[in-house]
Amino acid sequence: MRKISRRTTDAAPGELPVVGGKSDKAKTGGRAATAEAEKWMESWRSDKRAPVGALYLGRFADPMYFLTKPITWKPNQGQERYQEVSVPAGFVTDLASIPRVFWTLLRPDGKYAYSAIVHDYLYWFQTRPREESDTILKLGMQDFSIDAVTITAIYDAVRLGGRASWSGNERLRNAGEKRILKRFPDDPRTTWAEWKKLPDNFE
């Protein structure tokens, strides 16, 4: 191994430049290494965009939830073909639409709940194709470092069975149902079925 003394003026390949020596070359090398590290960190941050907004939820007496603060999914580098999705406060969701029989394996409020809410929003308003909405769900779960097996299971499930939910949402929306609350219930016994009958509760 190469011995580095206080008189060393440059570093061999793979070694750190000496800090505090008298050589201008060593000082320049140190500044260059620092600049390179900062450049790498900035690139890493831009490639690893975090979801925007912590998840704050209220709940009806039945297992239906509503956002009390907005959340946003943003595309990472290389995903620019997809536009960001902002879900407003007041949006009503059932989180991940997973049949109760599978809850021991995949609970509706799992780590993927954030991505599921974004997906619910896209499925409700249908301003983008269903396939794109499902892809954004998958990308959102990757942002949370969910294991590949779980991501594949959920993604395959929505690709296989999501059309019924998509069509059902379209029917409900066309019939006048709304999903953005203007005011939140203050009685914990209030059910979603009761609350949605009152049009003044919605945007």
- Summarised one tens digit per residue, pLDDT across range 151-194 is 998 899 889 888 999 999 999 999 999 999 999 999 999 999 99
| Neighbour count for residue 57 (Cβ, 10 Å) | 14
pLDDT at 150 over 80: yes
What are the boundaries of each domain within the chain? Answer: 1-47, 57-201
Residue 169 zone, left/alpha/beta (φ > 0; ψ -120 to 50; rest)? alpha
Residue 116, SS3? Answer: helix
Query: Token pair for residue 110?
Result: 């799992």
pLDDT at 106 over 60: no
Choose among 3, 37, 5, 2: nearest CA to 21.
5
- Summarised one tens digit per residue, pLDDT across range 18-36 is 444 555 555 556 676 666 7
pLDDT band at 51 (very low <50, low <70, confident <90, very high): confident
Q: Which residue has tokens 């620019």?
A: 80
pLDDT band at 10 (very low <50, low <70, confident <90, very high): very low
Distances (CA, A) of 163 to 98, 121, 131, 134, 157: 15, 15, 10, 11, 10
pLDDT band at 103 (very low <50, low <70, confident <90, very high): very low
CA 116 to chain CA centroid, nearest Å: 9
